[in-house]
Amino acid sequence: MIKKVFLVILLTVSGAHIVMADDADMAEINKALQVLAPGVKPDSITPSSIPGMYEVMLGADVVYISKNGRYLLQGDLVDLQAKKNLTEGKRAAGRLKLVNSMREDKMIVFAPAKVKHTITVFTDIDCPYCRKMHAEMSAYNQLGIKVRYMLYPRAGVNSESYEKAVSVWCAKDRKTALTTAKATGTIAKKTCENPVREHMALADSMGVSGTPTLVLEDGRTLPGYVPAQRLSRLLDDAGANKTN
């Protein structure tokens, strides 16, 4: 299972930046990683809050490995004194980095005249709650929320949903095509060079399993439809907490 996780992450992670580890420890850790998944290149390997354990960042995933390379832990590291989940903060930063690695010209963006908040949403044209969310697009925009869509047909490549996603992307007016497809469930079939598989690979690397999945400005994810007013309050609260 661990080897599978490492290999999935490897599909989207490139370029190692390994710092702060003792040379001898680094040798043992890298040796263990190569056994698990040959060729894997972590984003970083740094000492964790647990003595003798190192934190390994791979995209949006975090694992902990002993300095002798023998033991590996997957799970949340919680500082009970500070009452803080240390792992989730790192995951969120990893998610944000992955999402922002996708250029906006490879997304379908619905933006208000004045942007207050920006969210990224993995959406499926045939998902009922994705349609419900999209029906509120004017409300999100009126509240200053910019919505950046990435297409994630859950039925997979070559499914009907996948073909609809490609057709939307290849339409002359993508935003109108997406709105029509979500409202009616149908769209004229078109093909062209498109980023749909890239969107799907990115979603898989982040552990996205359902739609809609919202990625907030701080890297947190929210599964499912969130009404416009509630989402606006969540984003405002997150922004206020960040500045405090």
pTM value?
0.79
Rounded CA separation 138/134 (Å)? 9
Task: Provide the pLDDT for residue 21.
Answer: 54
Task: Provide the pLDDT for residue 38.
Answer: 78
Task: Provide the pLDDT for residue 59.
Answer: 78
Output the six-digit token pair for 209. Answer: 């399993």
Q: Tell me which DSSP letter residue 231 carries.
A: H
| 241: Cβ contacts below 8 Å, ≥ 6 apart | none
Rounded CA separation 131/142 (Å)? 18
- Which positions of the chain have pLDDT values less than 70? 1-22, 240-244
The full length of the chain comes to 244
Task: Provide the pLDDT for residue 5.
Answer: 40
Which CATH fold topology does 101-243 show? Glutaredoxin (3.40.30)
Q: Among all residues, which ones are annotated catalytic?
A: 124, 127, 130, 154
Domain ranges of the chain: 2-86, 101-243
Output the six-digit token pair for 40. Answer: 């894997």
Task: Provide the pLDDT for residue 111.
Answer: 98
Task: Provide the pLDDT for residue 1.
Answer: 41
Residue located via tokens 């490995």:
65
Residue located via tokens 């969210």:
119
- Compute the CA torsion angle 199, 200, 205, 209 (nearest 10 deg): 120
Quick check: do 2-86 and 101-243 share a fold? no
Task: Provide the pLDDT for residue 19.
Answer: 41
Rounded CA separation 92/18 (Å)? 19
> For 2-86, CATH number?
3.10.450.70
